[in-house]
C-alpha cells in the first residue's frame, strides 16, 4: 500500500510540531486529545481500519468488547502501538479524512464561492459548442440548439431483448426504444438520486455502444452545471477524458491531474477535496484508456497529493480509497466494462439512444428549417433500413450530413442502402482512428490503413461465418470472437451484453444491428476470395431468403462507385472477377425471373443497388413478368420496383403481381404511371377501399393493355365493383376479372351483366354474398363463375398456381398452401383438383427432402398430411 504525503495526515499545530517524528510517536504523544476527539466516531473509524486491512476482524472484536466509546478509542491506540509504524500511518490517514469530511459542515467561504462561479463559467464556455464528429476546426455549432434528449435507462439489458432489437426494423426498432425506455427512464440530473435507496449513489457507470452519445451526455452535464441549470447537488464537477489521460506517462497525483486543465481551482482545491461529498468527477471513455485492463490492481493511493501511476490514482478514486465521498461518473463502451474494478459501481446506466420522436427532433435541429427537416426525414423514413439505425445518434448525424451535402453541393445523393452503410463505415473508421492515434503516441502509426483493413476483414469474416450459421449473438468463448477482442476498433462495431446464466455470466457480442452484420459479411465476400454462398450462386429463390439483404449489400459494394470509394478510403479493393461475375449473375437472374414469373423483388433490389441502367438493356427478357407478391412492400421496395419499371419504359408488362403486398391508395398512386402497361394485373389480398379502387379505375380508363385483373379477397363490395365496371366500359379491354372472396351481392352482379360476354369473358365470383336463386339468372351466362364446376377454367388456374409454387421459396410456398388448402371436400372431388393437389403434394415432398430448416420442414409436412388425408 502506498501511504505517503504525511503533511496532510496531521492537521493541528501540535501535529506540525510532531511531524518530524514517526506516526507511532504521534499516537503516544497525542493519546489524550485523540481519545477526546475520536470518541464520537470510533465505530466508523474502526470499520475503515478493518476495510483498509490495518486491523483484523479479531482486532475489531477486541475493541468492541470495551465498555463505552472512550475505552474503545484507547484500545485502538493500544493495538496500534503493538502493530507498529505502518498501521499508525493508516490510522492517521483515516482520521485525516474523517476530519476533512467533518469540516464540510462549515459554510463555504466567499473565496470558495467565487472559484465555484468561475469554474462554472469556464465549463459553460468549454461546452457551448457541440462536439460533432468531423466538425471543422473553429466551427461553432451551439450545444443548446443541437442537443437532443437521450434515452437513459437503468440496469443491464436482457439477452432476449437484445436479440429482438438486433432483428427489428424501421419504425418497429425505434418504437422498441420508446417502450423499453418507458419504465426505466432517467433524467441526466437524476443520475445520482434513486428513490428507496438507503445507500447514497456515488459511483455511476454509463455504458452504450459506439456513437450512442456518452461523450455528449457528459457535455450535457457540464453544460447544465455551468449554466446553473442542472439539479445535481454538487459544488464542483471536474471532467477528465481518458483520451487525454493517455498522454501522461509518468507518475503524478490527483491534485496535478485536476489542475492540468483547471488551474483556476488551485487556491481552493484543498477545500474542494475536503468537501468531497459535494464533488463529481467525470471520467469519459474508459474503453479508450490505454491501461484499461489493469485498473483493478490492488495498489492504492489515499491522498490527493500522493504520486502514483494514473491507473492507480483512478483505480483508488473508483474504489473509494481516494476521496471516498466523491461521486464519480465513468463512461465506457460495453466492451471494456469487465475491467472496471468489481463491486465499486453503485448504479449501472445504459444509454439507449433515440426513439422516433428524438430522431425527428434531431433532423429539425440539424437542418434548422422545418420544411427541409420534414423532407429529409421522409426520405429517411422511406428507407426502412436507414431509419433502423437512426437510434444511434452518430448514425443519425452521418445520415443528415450525407443528405445535406448532396443538397448543398448538388453531388449525387446516396441512392441506395449500401451507399449509406459504406459512408457510415468510413465515417466511423475515420473519426475513431484519427482521435485514438492522435492521443496515444505509443500506438501512433500502428493503425495504418493496412491494419484498418485487416480489422475490417476480421470483423467481416466473423459476420460472414455467423450469418451463414444464422447467428446474431456470439459468445466470447467462441474462438472466432476471442481472436478479435484485443483490437480497439472492434468495439466501434461490436456491441457487448453480459448474459446472466444461472451460476455464471458470459459476454455476448453482436453487431449494432443485423443489417450491419449483413453489410460486413457482404464486404468480406466482395473483397476476399471467399466463394459466394451456394444459395446465391445458384440464383434459385428457394431457401435463401435469409441472404436477401446480404446479396443486396454485395451488389451495392461490387457496384462501380462504392468499390472505388471503399478502395480509396479503407484500402479494400473488390475482386475484379467477382464484380464481373456478380454483374452477369444479376442479368441472368433478372432474365430468368422475368421469364418464369419467379419472385423478383430481391433481384430488383440488387439491380437498384448497382445503379447501372445498362444492365437492364443487357437483360432484355422476352417477357416482362414482375412478381413481387406475398410480402408487405416498404417504400424501399416500391423504389426498387419503380426503378426497374422506369428502365423498361415503353415495354409491355406481361404480368405485375402485387398480390398480398399491402398496397393501398397511396402506394397504387405511386406506381400508377406504370400500371397501364400491364396485361395481367394481380392485386388480390390487399385491403382496397373506394379510393384505392378509384386509382385502379383511372388506370382501366386509359389502358389499352390490361386484359386480366385479379381482385380476390380485397374487401370489394357492390359500389366498388360498379366503379370498376364503369371504367372497364371505356376501353373494353379487360377479359378476365377475378373477384373471389369479396362482398359482392346480386346488385353488384347486375352491374357486370352489361360487360359480358364482351369484353369480359371470365368473371370469378366464388365466395361472395351470392345466393343461388337470386343470382341464377345472371349466372346463367356461363361467363360468370360462382363455384368450382368449370373444369377447364380451374385446370388453367391450377396450372398457373402450380407454376408459381415451383419457383417460390419454401416460405412463399407455405403462404400459398395456406390459401389453396382451404377448399371444401366437394371441390376436392373434381378432376382438376385431384391433379392439382397431387402435383402439389409431390412438390412438397421434394421440398421436404432438401429442407434444412426444422420449423419450415414441420409446416411442409403438416400440409403434406392434409393433402393426403
Ligand atoms: N444527444 C445528442 N444530441 C445530438 N447529437 C448527438 C447526441 N448524442 C450523440 N450525438 C451525435 O453523435 C455523435 C457521437 O456521440 P458521442 O461521441 O457522444 O458517442 P459515444 O457514445 O461517446 O461514442 P464512442 O463510444 O464511439 O466514443 C456526436 O458527435 C454527435 O454528432
Ligand 1 atom closest to Cα of residue 208: 21
353 alpha carbon to ligand 1 midpoint, in Å?
9
429 alpha carbon to ligand 1 midpoint, in Å?
15
Mutation pick for ligand 1 pocket among 368, 393, 492 (CB with most ligand atoms within 8 Å)? 393
pLDDT, mean of residues 735-743: 91
Q: Going by CA atoms, what residue is nearest to atom 15 of ligand 1?
A: 213
User: Taking Cα atoms as reference points, which of 310, 198, 173 lies closest to residue 254?
Assistant: 310
219 alpha carbon to ligand 1 midpoint, in Å?
10
Ligand 1 atom closest to Cα of residue 215: 18
Lowest mean pLDDT among 266-280, 585-599, 800-814, 852-866: 800-814
Lowest mean pLDDT among 134-143, 263-272, 339-348, 842-851: 134-143
Task: Inform me whether the pLDDT recorded for 326 exceeds 90.
Answer: yes
362 alpha carbon to ligand 1 midpoint, in Å?
12
**311, containing H or E segment:** helix 310-318
430 alpha carbon to ligand 1 midpoint, in Å?
15
402 alpha carbon to ligand 1 midpoint, in Å?
17
> Which residues 6+ apart lie within 8 Å of 40 measured at CB?
69
181 alpha carbon to ligand 1 midpoint, in Å?
19
Highest mean pLDDT among 42-46, 345-349, 742-746: 742-746
Using DSSP, state whether 351 is helix, strand or coil: strand
- CA-to-CA distance for 215 and 150, rounded, in angstroms? 12
213 alpha carbon to ligand 1 midpoint, in Å?
3
Across the beta sheet with 504-511, what order do the strands follow? 474-475, 504-511, 494-501
Q: Going by CA atoms, what residue is nearest to atom 25 of ligand 1?
A: 210
pLDDT, mean of residues 368-381: 88
Q: How much is the pLDDT for 443?
A: 46
- CA-to-CA distance for 173 and 350, rounded, in angstroms? 17
412 alpha carbon to ligand 1 midpoint, in Å?
26
Mutation pick for ligand 1 pocket among 284, 331, 392, 397 (CB with most ligand atoms within 8 Å)? 397
Q: How much is the pLDDT for 16?
A: 38
- CA-to-CA distance for 734 and 731, rounded, in angstroms? 8
215 alpha carbon to ligand 1 midpoint, in Å?
6
pLDDT, mean of residues 540-569: 83
Ligand 1 atom closest to Cα of residue 431: 26
pLDDT, mean of residues 93-111: 66
Q: How much is the pLDDT for 585?
A: 92
User: Taking Cα atoms as reference points, which of 91, 103, 104 lies closest to residue 22?
Assistant: 91
- Give Cα 219 to chain centroid, integer Å: 23
Cα within 13 Å of Cα(569), Cβ side: 18
What is the number of other CB atoms lying within 10 angstroms of the CB of residue 771? 10
% residues pLDDT > 90 (the chain)? 30
Per DSSP bridges, beta strands 504-511 and 494-501 are antiparallel
Query: Could you tell me where the DSSP H helices lie in 383-448?
Result: 384-388, 393-408, 417-439
DSSP-assigned letter for residue 129: B
Ligand 1 atom closest to Cα of residue 284: 22
In CATH, the number for domain 110-146+186-353 is 3.40.50
Q: How much is the pLDDT for 411?
A: 46
| Residue 829: φ, ψ to 5° | -75, -15
Mutation pick for ligand 1 pocket among 242, 394, 490 (CB with most ligand atoms within 8 Å)? 394
CATH class entry, domain 585-791? alpha beta
Q: Going by CA atoms, what residue is nearest to atom 26 of ligand 1?
A: 210
649 alpha carbon to ligand 1 midpoint, in Å?
45
Tens of pLDDT, residues 644-703: 999 998 899 999 999 988 899 988 999 999 999 999 999 998 989 999 999 999 999 999
pLDDT, mean of residues 712-719: 92
Q: How much is the pLDDT for 528?
A: 93
Q: Going by CA atoms, what residue is nearest to atom 30 of ligand 1?
A: 132
% residues pLDDT > 70 (the chain)? 82
391 alpha carbon to ligand 1 midpoint, in Å?
11
Which residue's entry shows cell 434444412?
852
* Burial of 494: CB neighbours in 10 Å, binned 0-12, 13-18, 19+: buried
Q: How much is the pLDDT for 299?
A: 81
Q: How much is the pLDDT for 500?
A: 56
pLDDT, mean of residues 353-380: 90
Tens of pLDDT, residues 41-96: 787 788 788 877 888 888 888 888 887 778 888 899 999 988 888 888 888 887 87
- CA-to-CA distance for 829 and 831, rounded, in angstroms? 6
Q: 42-51 and 69-83 are packed helices; what angle lies between their axes, rounded to 10 degrees?
A: 30
427 alpha carbon to ligand 1 midpoint, in Å?
13
pLDDT, mean of residues 764-774: 77
Task: Inform me whether the pLDDT recorded for 505 exceeds 80.
Answer: no
Residue 782 CA: distances (Å) to CA of 778, 779, 828: 9, 6, 21
Tens of pLDDT, residues 793-851: 788 888 878 887 887 778 778 877 877 776 666 666 778 888 888 899 999 999 998 88
Q: What is the mean pLDDT of the chain?
A: 81
Lowest mean pLDDT among 296-305, 690-699, 854-863: 296-305
Ligand 1 atom closest to Cα of residue 354: 1
Q: Going by CA atoms, what residue is nearest to atom 9 of ligand 1?
A: 213
Mutation pick for ligand 1 pocket among 177, 210, 215 (CB with most ligand atoms within 8 Å)? 215
> Which residues 6+ apart lie within 8 Å of 666 measured at CB?
none
Pocket of ligand 1 (CB under 6 A): 131-133, 146-148, 150, 208, 210-216, 285, 333, 362, 393-394, 397
Task: Inform me whether the pLDDT recorded for 597 exceeds 70.
Answer: yes
Q: How much is the pLDDT for 362?
A: 95
267 alpha carbon to ligand 1 midpoint, in Å?
34
pLDDT, mean of residues 156-162: 57
Q: Going by CA atoms, what residue is nearest to atom 10 of ligand 1?
A: 393
CATH of 6-103, one of 3.40.50.450, 3.40.50.2300, 1.10.1040.10, 1.10.533.10: 1.10.533.10
82 alpha carbon to ligand 1 midpoint, in Å?
56
Which pLDDT band, with edges at 50, 70 and 90, does 155 fall under?
Answer: low
Mutation pick for ligand 1 pocket among 130, 144, 147, 213 (CB with most ligand atoms within 8 Å)? 213
CB 352, CB 208: distance < 8 Å: yes
746 alpha carbon to ligand 1 midpoint, in Å?
64
Q: Going by CA atoms, what residue is nearest to atom 29 of ligand 1?
A: 132
CB 6, CB 41: distance < 8 Å: no
Q: Going by CA atoms, what residue is nearest to atom 1 of ligand 1?
A: 148
Lowest mean pLDDT among 19-23, 143-147, 828-832: 19-23
Q: Going by CA atoms, what residue is nearest to atom 31 of ligand 1?
A: 132
Q: Going by CA atoms, what residue is nearest to atom 17 of ligand 1?
A: 215
> Which residues 6+ apart lie within 8 Å of 319 measured at CB?
300, 341, 344
Residue 240 CA: distances (Å) to CA of 17, 131, 310, 473: 38, 15, 12, 34
CB 95, CB 38: distance < 8 Å: yes
Query: Could you tell me where the DSSP H helices lie in 705-809?
Result: 718-731, 746-753, 772-779, 791-806
Q: How much is the pLDDT for 176?
A: 62
Q: Going by CA atoms, what residue is nearest to atom 14 of ligand 1?
A: 211
392 alpha carbon to ligand 1 midpoint, in Å?
8
Task: Inform me whether the pLDDT recorded for 779 exceeds 70.
Answer: no
147 alpha carbon to ligand 1 midpoint, in Å?
10
Which residue's entry shows cell 386509359?
702
User: Taking Cα atoms as reference points, which of 411, 283, 766, 832 lies closest to residue 419?
Assistant: 411
Ligand 1 atom closest to Cα of residue 218: 18
Q: How much is the pLDDT for 240?
A: 94
CB 443, CB 508: distance < 8 Å: no
Task: Inform me whether the pLDDT recorded for 437 exceeds 60.
Answer: no
Mutation pick for ligand 1 pocket among 206, 211, 492 (CB with most ligand atoms within 8 Å)? 211
Amino acid at each position: 500500500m502506498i501511504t505517503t504525503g504525511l503533511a496532510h495526515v496531521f492537521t493541528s499545530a501540535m501535529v506540525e510540531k510532531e511531524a518530524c517524528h514517526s506516526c507511532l510517536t504521534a499516537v503516544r504523544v497525542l493519546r489524550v486529545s485523540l481519545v477526546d476527539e475520536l470518541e464520537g466516531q470510533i465505530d466508523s473509524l474502526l470499520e475503515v481500519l478493518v476495510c483498509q486491512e490495518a486491523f483484523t476482524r479479531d482486532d475489531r472484536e477486541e475493541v468492541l468488547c470495551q465498555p463505552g466509546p472512550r475505552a474503545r478509542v484507547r484500545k485502538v491506540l493500544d493495538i496500534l502501538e503493538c502493530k507498529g509504524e505502518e498501521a499508525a500511518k493508516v490510522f492517521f490517514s483515516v482520521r485525516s479524512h474523517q476530519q476533512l469530511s467533518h469540516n464540510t459542515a462549515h459554510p463555504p467561504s466567499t473565496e470558495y464561492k467565487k472559484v465555484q462561479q468561475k469554474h462554472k463559467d469556464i465549463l459553460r464556455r468549454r461546452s457551448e459548442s457541440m462536439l460533432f464528429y468531423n466538425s471543422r476546426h473553429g466551427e461553432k455549432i451551439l450545444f443548446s440548439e443541437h442537443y437532443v434528449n437521450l434515452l437513459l435507462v437503468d440496469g443491464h439489458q436482457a439477452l432476449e431483448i437484445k436479440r429482438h432489437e438486433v432483428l427489428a426494423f424501421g419504425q418497429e426498432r425505434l418504437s422498441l426504444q420508446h417502450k423499453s425506455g418507458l419504465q426505466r427512464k432517467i433524467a441526466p440530473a437524476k443520475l445520482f438520486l434513486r428513490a428507496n435507496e438507503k445507500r447514497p449513489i456515488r459511483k455511476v457507470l454509463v455504458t452504450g455502444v459506439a456513437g450512442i452519445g456518452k461523450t455528449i451526455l457528459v457535455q450535457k452535464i457540464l453544460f447544465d452545471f455551468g449554466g446553473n441549470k442542472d439539479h445535481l447537488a454538487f459544488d464542483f464537477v471536474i471532467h477528465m477524458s481518458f483520451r487525454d489521460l493517455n498522454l501522461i506517462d509518468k507518475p503524478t497525483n490527483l491534485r496535478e491531474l485536476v489542475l492540468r486543465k483547471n488551474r483556476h481551482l488551485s487556491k481552493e482545491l484543498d477545500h474542494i477535496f475536503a468537501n468531497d461529498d459535494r464533488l463529481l468527477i467525470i471520467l469519459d471513455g474508459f474503453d479508450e484508456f490505454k491501461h484499461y485492463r489493469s485498473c483493478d490492481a490492488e495498489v492504492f493511493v489515499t491522498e490527493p497529493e500522493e504520486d502514483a501511476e494514473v491507473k492507480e490514482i483512478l483505480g483508488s478514486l473508483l474504489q473509494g480509497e481516494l476521496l471516498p465521498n466523491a461521486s464519480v461518473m465513468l463512461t465506457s463502451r460495453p466492451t471494456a466494462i469487465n475491467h472496471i474494478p468489481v463491486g465499486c459501481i453503485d448504479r449501472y446506466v445504459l444509454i439507449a439512444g433515440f426513439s422516433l420522436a428524438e430522431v425527428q427532433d434531431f433532423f429539425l435541429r440539424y437542418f434548422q428549417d422545418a420544411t427541409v427537416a420534414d423532407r429529409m426525414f421522409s426520405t429517411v423514413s422511406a428507407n426502412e433500413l436507414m431509419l433502423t439505425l437512426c437510434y444511434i445518434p452518430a448514425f443519425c448525424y452521418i445520415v443528415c450530413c450525407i443528405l445535406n451535402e448532396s443538397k448543398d453541393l448538388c453531388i449525387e445523393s446516396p441512392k441506395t442502402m449500401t451507399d449509406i452503410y459504406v459512408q457510415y463505415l468510413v465515417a466511423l473508421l475515420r473519426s475513431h482512428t484519427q482521435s485514438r492515434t492522435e492521443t496515444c503516441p505509443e500506438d501512433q502509426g500502428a493503425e495504418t490503413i493496412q491494419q484498418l483493413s485487416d480489422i475490417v476483414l476480421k470483423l467481416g469474416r466473423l459476420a460472414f461465418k455467423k450469418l451463414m450459421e444464422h447467428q446474431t449473438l456470439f459468445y466470447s468463448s467462441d474462438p472466432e470472437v476471442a481472436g478479435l477482442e484485443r483490437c480497439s476498433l472492434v468495439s466501434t462495431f461490436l456491441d457487448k451484453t453480459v448474459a446472466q446464466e444461472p451460476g455464471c455470466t458470459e459476454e455476448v457480442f453482436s453487431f449494432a444491428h443485423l443489417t450491419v452484420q449483413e453489410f460486413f459479411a457482404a464486404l468480406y465476400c466482395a473483397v476476399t476470395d471467399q466463394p459466394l454462398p451456394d444459395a446465391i450462386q445458384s440464383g434459385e429463390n428457394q431457401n435463401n431468403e435469409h441472404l436477401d439483404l446480404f446479396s443486396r449489400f454485395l451488389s451495392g459494394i461490387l457496384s462501380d462507385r462504392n468499390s472505388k470509394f471503399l478502395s480509396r478510403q479503407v484500402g479494400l479493393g473488390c475482386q475484379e472477377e467477382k464484380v464481373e461475375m456478380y454483374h452477369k449473375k444479376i442479368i441472368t437472374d433478372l432474365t430468368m425471373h422475368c421469364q418464369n414469373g419467379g419472385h423478383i423483388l430481391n433481384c430488383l433490389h440488387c439491380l437498384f443497388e448497382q445503379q447501372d441502367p445498362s444492365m437492364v438493356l443487357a437483360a432484355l427478357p422476352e417477357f416482362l413478368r414482375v412478381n413481387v407478391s406475398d410480402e408487405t412492400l416498404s417504400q424501399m421496395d416500391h423504389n426498387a420496383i419503380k426503378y426497374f419499371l422506369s428502365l423498361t419504359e415503353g415495354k409491355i408488362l406481361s404480368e405485375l403481381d402485387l398480390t398480398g403486398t399491402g398496397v393501398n391508395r397511396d402506394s397504387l398512386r405511386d406506381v400508377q404511371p406504370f400500371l397501364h402497361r400491364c396485361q395481367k394485373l394481380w392485386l388480390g389480398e390487399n385491403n382496397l377501399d373506394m379510393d384505392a379502387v378509384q386509382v385502379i379505375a383511372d388506370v382501366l380508363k386509359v389502358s389499352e393493355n390490361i386484359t386480366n385483373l385479379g381482385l380476390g379477397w380485397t374487401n370489394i363490395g357492390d359500389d366498388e365493383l360498379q366503379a370498376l365496371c364503369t371504367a372497364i366500359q371505356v376501353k373494353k379491354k379487360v377479359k378476365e376479372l377475378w373477384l373471389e372472396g369479396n362482398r359482392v351481392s346480386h346488385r353488384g352482379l347486375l352491374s357486370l351483366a352489361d360487360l359480358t360476354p364482351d369484353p369480359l369473358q371470365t368473371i370469378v365470383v366464388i365466395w361472395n354474398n351470392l345466393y343461388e336463386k337470386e343470382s341464377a339468372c345472371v349466372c346463367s351466362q356461363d361467363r360468370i363463375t360462382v363455384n368450382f364446376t368449370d373444369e377447364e377454367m380451374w385446370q388453367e388456374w391450377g396450372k398457373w398456381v402450380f407454376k408459381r409454387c415451383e419457383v417460390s421459396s419454401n416460405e412463399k410456398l407455405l403462404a400459398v398452401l395456406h390459401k389453396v388448402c382451404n377448399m371444401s371436400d366437394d371441390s376436392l372431388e373434381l378432376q382438376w383438383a385431384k391433379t392439382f393437389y397431387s402435383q402439389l403434394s409431390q412438390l412438397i415432398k421434394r421440398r421436404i427432402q432438401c429442407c434444412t430448416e426444422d420449423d419450415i420442414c414441420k409446416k411442409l409436412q403438416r400440409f403434406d398430411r392434409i393433402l393426403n388425408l
